[in-house]
Amino acid sequence: MHNLEILAVDPRDPLAILPDLEEALSGRRSLLPVPLDDPARANLLRNTMGVGEPIDEDIAAVVSTSGSTGRPKGAELTAANLVASADATHQRLGGQGQWLLAMPACYIAGLQVLVRALVAGVEPAALDLSRGFVIADFAARAREIADTGDRCYTALTPLQLAKATSSLEGIEALRLFDSVLVGGAATNPALLESARKLRINVVTTYGSSETSGGCVYDGRPIPGARVRISGGRIVLGGPMVARGYRNAPGHEAFSEPGWFATSDAGSLDGAHLTVSGRLDNVIDSGGFKLHPEVLEDAMLRVPGVTAACVVGVPDERFGQRICAAYVGSADVATLMDGLADLPRWQVPKDITLLPALPTLGPGKVDRAAVAALF
């Protein structure tokens, strides 16, 4: 048995954890990554994940969820889980290569960039994220790894991709990568189309801490991953699926060994997965049920809308009132014109324009904070 250890991740120097991560992958330690620059979250994880208490020595890392729907849960990931995910990613992308870390390594998307580099036997490049996502720094690191002549990869949030494609320097940097993984939240379809027209090879990813990161790329499972739909719910399987939750043993999401029942609704067309939205985000307004992601997608297709969040707030008449916040240059009248073809009941009752949507974790919109605005 091991005792679970804190692994403090410094955004100024995330590569400092590489020796610790290598020890965890070799079975010598069990680590809980926490952000050094966010004491409140670090203390929350320390107090809820059993730091210093015994843990199965097969567990390499306990990786927390973002906590966007409540208290963060800690996915227990073995070295085999993490390596299986890394190997499958390289198979899907066409081979091992150089990796640039541009996301916080205390979350699974960033941590897996480091695992993939270790599996590939390369020294990854990394950004200092203490000042945010700086395009000049991103471009400089991208040129460094491109100069090796190897295949080059990075992983970004949709917000980072949007920022990088807003400048010529960012576009040129993105073109240096054989693949740019984008995940952590739904990506604006207009942004994806724009990136592809700019000859940027974007690969959308779907997954979570519980699946060692993304395990569905561009709608199709990566090698070894499996997808099925059960009662409208997406269920993911494969060697990258976690053992369970550190702070919620016996959770029903892991009731079937080797499978993880997500909180997302979706459908399969052959082997292609379409994610409809989170089951726990469904808005019940006047007896009609709406996945907010469906309305958000419609909003994002309106020219001048760059980000959107739809929430339900309590309403005496309807049960829940559909409200929307968005970011962009479009005014409210233009947005409403763009939604004219929607069923009347789906049109938001309240709309507000924000300079930016509040976020929680690596690029996830904080829906509770948006709801509080209304």
Burial (0-12, 13-18, 19+ Cβ within 10 Å), 365: buried
Model-level pTM?
Answer: 0.87
Q: Give CA–CA dist 326/277, Å, rounded.
A: 18
Answer whether residue 343 shows pLDDT above 80: yes
pLDDT digits (tens, 9 = 90+) for 249-282: 889 999 999 999 999 999 999 989 999 888 888 8
Q: Residue 186: left (phi > 0), alpha (psi -120 to 50), or beta? A: beta
**Residue tagged 């054989």 (tokens):** 178
Residue entry with tokens 């379409």:
274
pLDDT of residue 372: 93
Give the separation between CA 290 and CA 140, rounded to whole angstroms: 44
More confident residue, 318 or 52: 52
The predicted-structure confidence for 204-245, as pLDDT tens digits, reads as follows 999 999 999 999 999 999 999 999 999 999 999 999 999 999
List, in sequence order, the alpha helices (H) in the chain: 18-25, 39-48, 79-93, 108-120, 135-146, 158-164, 168-174, 189-197, 292-300, 332-338, 367-372
pLDDT band for position 316 (cuts 50, 70, 90): confident
Q: What is the pairing mode between strands 220-221 and 213-217?
A: antiparallel
According to the model, what pLDDT value does residue 69 have?
54
Which residues partner with 351 through β-bridges? 324
Q: Could you report how far apart the first and last alpha carbons of the chain are, in Å? A: 49
Domain layout of the chain by residue ranges: 79-275, 282-372
pLDDT in tens, 278-295: 888 889 888 888 889 889
Query: Is 282-372 assigned to CATH 3.30.300.30?
Result: yes
* Mean pLDDT, all residues of the chain: 94
Cα 64 from Cα 62, distance rounded (Å): 6
User: Given pLDDT bands bounded at 50, 70 and 90, which one contains residue 67?
Assistant: low
Compute CA 40 distance to the chain's CA centroid, rounded to the nearest angstrom: 21
Distance (Å, rounded) from C-alpha 52 to C-alpha 57?
A: 13
Asked if residue 68 has pLDDT above 60, the reply is no
Whole-number Cα distances in Å, 28 to 21, 23, 31? 10, 5, 10
For the 79-275 domain, the top CATH level (class) is: alpha beta
Q: Please name the residues in contact with 60: beta carbons below 8 A apart, sequence gap of 6 or more.
A: 24, 25, 27, 29, 30, 31, 77, 78, 79, 81, 82
Is 109:101 a contact under the CB 8 Å cutoff?
Answer: no
Q: What is the mean pLDDT of residues 125-152?
A: 96
Report pLDDT for 81.
98
Q: Which residue has the tokens 């930016």?
A: 356
How far is 40 from 194, CA to CA, in rounded Å?
38
Contact 174, 200 (CB under 8 A): yes
The average pLDDT across 160-169 equals 95
